[in-house]
Amino acid sequence: MDKLKYSQYEWQIILQNVDTGTQYNITTITTEATYTTELMTGNAGTLELQLVNISENLANKKEVETVDFLTKVDPRLPGGQANKHGHTVQFSISGEGIFLGYITNVEITEQHNFKITARDSIFWLKSKDYLYTEDMTASEIFTDVASRKANINHAVRVGSSAVLKPYNYGFDYTMFGQIEHAIKAANIAEPGKWYIIRDEFGTLVFTELSELFTGIILGDNEYAISYKYNSTIEEKTYNYIKAFRPNEDLGMFDTWVVKDSDSINRWGQLNKIVEVDKEMTDVDVEALNQDLLAFHNLPTETFSIKAFGHIGVYAGNGITLQIGKIGQQGNYWITTAKHTFRNNYHVMDLELFYFNG
């Protein structure tokens, strides 16, 4: 397979004026585009564009677009300002929509060059709001929260099933924090599931990680340019799981313990404590403990890798790594993906962690 074909995608950037509806194809004046996504951090997907802008008169002569309207005074705004924000940006590769978001930041240099930053729908979940939930699943809570923002399109691709206990989200919770809290509760209540939200070309999606495995293979003989591997038991590794369940009749907790003596002998005892819902049965709690032990009783393995760019590789996706030089092979989740485009140049910087699947 020709690796270079992945740096020869035809990419297109369309900027639409929010006031007039006029669309501008700014691909030819964009010298660099960087698209970054993160997995469940609360940070929005971000598209950063470096533009060499030219005057409107020169643009007409050369038959190229200009973004001079970003500097023109808008009489509706105080102080003779230009309306620089809220315009939509669409980024597509070979006809496939990759990013759809809104301009939130504009920088202009003395050479009249522009740096435009656009964010996806997760940006609007930074707001705080009050919320009380009862007899709702995490995906229903997601729908409730997302519906409170008029400009957020949203969809549930894979819904959660566990009905969560009532919870009062005070004003210290962001809207993302409310969804994140519900998802964490659902992930505990439904062993083996890992629910997330992410933006997919302008739609905020609730889904489950297993649906996002791509089958793409990266390795030292397949697309990878450079990498750094790390293995640790200092964080997120546990070989002793203790679950607590409230027992209101006795006014105390019922407890369950599961452990792995072999790894305790090797690494020492690494404890994880989890409080489960009082509605969970003994069988459910025992199954949860076993799932948690199986998941956490391993070193945490992460990779930082630079590779030839590949569309469909974003935060939340799963890929297979094959690094023969250090004998590492397995499936990894992407926690951060940064794609950089310049002319026919397309590389991606990925942060990944190993999952046993």
* The pLDDT value given to residue 81: 62
Strand partners, 163: none
Q: By the 8 A CB rule, do 245 and 280 touch? A: yes
User: Which residues of the chain register pLDDT less than 70?
Assistant: 1-9, 54-66, 68-69, 71-82, 355-357
Reading phi first (left if > 0) and then psi (alpha if -120 to 50, else beta), residue 86 is in left
Cα–Cα–Cα angle for 174, 178, 181, rounded to 5 degrees: 130
Reading phi first (left if > 0) and then psi (alpha if -120 to 50, else beta), residue 180 is in alpha
* CATH number among 3.30.420.40, 1.20.58.220, 2.60.120.20, 2.40.30.150, domain 211-233+299-354: 2.40.30.150
How many whole angstroms separate alpha carbon 123 and alpha carbon 152? Answer: 10
Mean per-residue pLDDT of the chain: 87
Q: What is the pTM of this model?
A: 0.85
Residues, the chain: 357
How many whole angstroms separate alpha carbon 283 and alpha carbon 289? Answer: 10
Q: By the 8 A CB rule, do 256 and 283 touch? A: no
* Interval 260-271: pLDDT, tens: 999 999 999 999
